[in-house]
A and B are shown apart, each in its own frame.
Chain A
Amino acid sequence: MNPYIALLISFALCAIVAGIMCGASWLLGPKVENKAKSEIFETGNPPIGSIRGIRFPVKFYLTAILFVVFDIEVVFMYPWAVVFRRLGWIGLAEMAVFIAVLGVGLAYVWRVGALEWD
Chain B
Amino acid sequence: MDFLISFVLALVALLILLQLTVLLLWVERKGSALIQDRVGANRANLFGGLLPFNLGIVNTLMADPLKLFHKEDIIPKDADAFLHWLAPFIAVLPLFVTFAVVPFGDVLVLGERVINLQAADVNVGLLFVLGMVSLGVYGVVIGGWASNSRYAFLGGVRGSAQMVSYEIGMGLALVAVVLTYGSLDLQEIARAQGQLMWGVIPAWGVFYQPLALVLFFIAGIAESKRPPFDLPEAESELVAGFYTEYSGSKQSMFMMSDFIEVAIVAALVTTLFFGGWQVPYLYRDGFHLPGGFFFGVPSLVVTILQVGAFLTKLFIFCWLQILVRWTYPRMRYDQLMNLGWKRLLPIGLANVVVTAVLVLALEGFTVP
Query: A residues near B, CB below 8 A?
Result: 1, 3-7, 9-11, 13-15, 17-19, 21-26, 28-32, 37-43, 47, 49-51, 54, 56, 59-60, 63-64, 66-67, 70-71, 74-75, 77-78, 81-82, 84-85, 88-89, 92, 95-96, 99, 103, 106, 110, 115-118
Contacts and interface: CB of A to CB of B under 8 A. Distances in A.
Interface string B1-33: 011001101110110001000000000000000
A6 to B, nearest CB: 4
Given A4-B120, A9-B6, A18-B92, A30 B349 contact: no
B77 A38 contact: yes
Given A40-B245, A115-B337, A71 B167 contact: yes
Most chain B Cβ neighbours within 10 Å, of A9, A14, A96: A14
A85 B366 contact: yes
Given A7-B101, A7-B122, A41-B151, 11 more contacts: A3-B123, A4-B120, A6-B121, A9-B3, A10-B100, A28-B70, A37-B72, A66-B341, A81-B179, A84-B356, A84-B359
Given A1-B2, A14-B14, A92 B168 contact: no
B72 A54 contact: no
B59 interface: no
Contacts of A118: 334
Contacts of B366: 85
Given A10-B13, A78-B184, A26 B2 contact: no
Nearest to A74: B171
A117 B334 contact: yes
10 contacts: A7-B119, A10-B10, A25-B69, A26-B73, A47-B150, A59-B161, A60-B161, A78-B184, A84-B356, A95-B356
A78 B178 contact: yes
Given A82-B178, A84-B359, A74 B250 contact: no
B359 A117 contact: no
B85 A23 contact: yes
Nearest to A28: B70
Contacts of A14: 14, 93, 96-97, 100
B352 interface: yes
Interface string B123-160: 10011100000000000000001011111011001100
B171 A67 contact: no
A1 B6 CA distance: 9
A37 B349 CA distance: 50
Contacts of B178: 78, 81-82
Contact of A11 (B7, B69, B97, B345): B97
A106 B345 contact: yes
Contacts of B18: 17
B295 to A, nearest CB: 34
Given A10-B120, A30-B72, A56-B157, A41 B149 contact: yes
Interface string B325-345: 000000001100110011001
- A-B pairs, top 6 by smallest CB distance, nearest first, are A25-B248, A14-B96, A117-B334, A25-B73, A10-B100, A74-B171
B72 A29 contact: yes
B74 A37 contact: yes
B296 interface: no
A71 B333 contact: no
B322 interface: no
B150 A54 contact: yes
B225 to A, nearest CB: 15
B249 A39 contact: no
A19 B100 contact: no
A56 B150 CA distance: 11
Given A29-B70, A29-B73, A78-B178, A10 B14 contact: yes
Contacts of B158: 60
Nearest to B89: A22
A110 B119 CA distance: 43
